[in-house]
Amino acid sequence: DIQMTQSPSSLSASVGDRVTITCQANQDSGKYLNWYQQKPGQAPKLLIYAASNLETGVPSRFSGSGSGTDFTFTISSLQPEDFATYYCQQLRTFGQGTRLETK
């Protein structure tokens, strides 16, 4: 089974910061890697699919890169509404999540 290691598990940052989250697979995942945002009391929201494709309507400050086993998710300039938990997903497997909190 594919296992995803997402890091960090939590992150403190300020508005305007550049934030990076990584996800590593234990076997080649090609470009099948998605990123989701989940706010408390809400369902997750798809932000990035196929490693680097921005979902329709998602702000361009969100981006993704990588292929194979190593993937990166970046928020270029953190906004107040971005404080949430972020998950990577490779097909049937989700990462453990990264809780992004205000510093």
Q: Contact positions toward other proteins, by CB under 8 A?
A: 1, 31-32, 34, 36, 43-46, 49-50, 53, 55, 87, 89, 91-97
* Other Cβ atoms closer than 10 A to 83: 18
User: Shortest Cβ distance from residue 19 to other proteins (Å)?
Assistant: 19
Cβ proximity to other proteins, 12 vs 53, nearer residue: 53
User: Shortest Cβ distance from residue 12 to other proteins (Å)?
Assistant: 19
User: Shortest Cβ distance from residue 17 to other proteins (Å)?
Assistant: 24
Q: What DSSP letter does each residue of 21-58 carry, written as one string?
A: EEEEESS--TT--EEEEE-TTS--EEEEETTTEEPTT-
Cβ proximity to other proteins, 15 vs 91, nearer residue: 91
Residue 24's DSSP bridge partners are 5, 70
Q: What are phi and psi of 46, to 5 degrees?
A: -70, 125
Cβ proximity to other proteins, 19 vs 48, nearer residue: 48
- Between β-strands 10-13 and 98-102, what pairing exists: parallel, antiparallel or unpaired? parallel
User: Shortest Cβ distance from residue 73 to other proteins (Å)?
Assistant: 15
